[in-house]
Chains A and B, each alone.
Chain A
Amino acid sequence: DTEVTQTPKHLVMGMTNKKSLKCEQHMGHRAMYWYKQKAKKPPELMFVYSYEKLSINESVPSRFSPECPNSSLLNLHLHALQPEDSALYLCASRRKGGAYTGELFFGEGSRLTVL
């Protein structure tokens, strides 16, 4: 199983809504990532979790709140977003230790539209 699964694939929300994005992997990877990607642009790193602990926060606004409940699951809680937050949100995971190859495995993304 070499998949990173993201749900939902599409999400439309108002600026006052609270919603969550979910990411799951069963590859035993112990590093998980959230990226934000605008059209025809590279992904921008938001957060990195290593062994279920937040290791990198790229100065992301507090309206984005990550959570890593266990080694297989990563959530991104969304609250009071702005229209400019509309983007594709990518989750990725990476093996740590062992046969380390450095590469990230990406999910298909969640397309978020903020009205």
Chain B
Amino acid sequence: AQTVTQSQPEMSVQEAETVTLSCTYDTSENNYYLFWYKQPPSRQMILVIRQEAYKQQNATENRFSVNFQKAAKSFSLKISDSQLGDTAMYFCAFKIWGAGGTSYGKLTFGQGTILTVHP
């Protein structure tokens, strides 16, 4: 079974500063995806960034970047130049890559980190 752990229930940051959200996971699989999802108070879950486990290069999407350490099973999210609109609950999530078997359909979420950006 896969597990995802987010050890920071809540974090806060000043506008324009940088913040890092932590995520660790446990799996015996070698091929998988890791995701960071954002759920603002308006509640729609939105994909922030995706990382394929076979890629060594860390994914980046504008102000969002990840530090993917496969051996350490760590997948942190860095938000640069934080904006008020970044205030949300952030979920780290894991999904096995491939087809076949019921476990391949599942997206496993961490407990989430509530991020508040202060003006």
Contact = CB atoms under 8 A, between A and B. Distances in A.
Interface of A: 31, 33, 40-43, 45, 48, 50, 55-56, 88, 90, 92, 96, 101-109
B95 A102 contact: yes
Contacts, number: 56
Interface residues of B, number: 25
22 contacts: A33-B105, A33-B107, A40-B89, A40-B112, A41-B111, A42-B112, A43-B45, A43-B91, A45-B106, A48-B105, A48-B106, A55-B102, A55-B105, A56-B105, A102-B35, A102-B50, A102-B97, A103-B50, A104-B47, A106-B44, A107-B44, A109-B44
A48 B89 CA distance: 24
Interface of B: 33, 35, 37, 42-47, 50, 52, 89, 91, 95, 97, 99, 102, 105-107, 109-112, 114
Contacts of B44: 106-109
A41 B114 CA distance: 10
A92 B47 CA distance: 12
A42 B33 CA distance: 18
A3 to B, nearest CB: 10
Given A41-B111, A96-B99, A106-B45, 9 more contacts: A33-B107, A42-B111, A43-B109, A48-B106, A50-B105, A102-B52, A106-B46, A107-B44, A108-B44
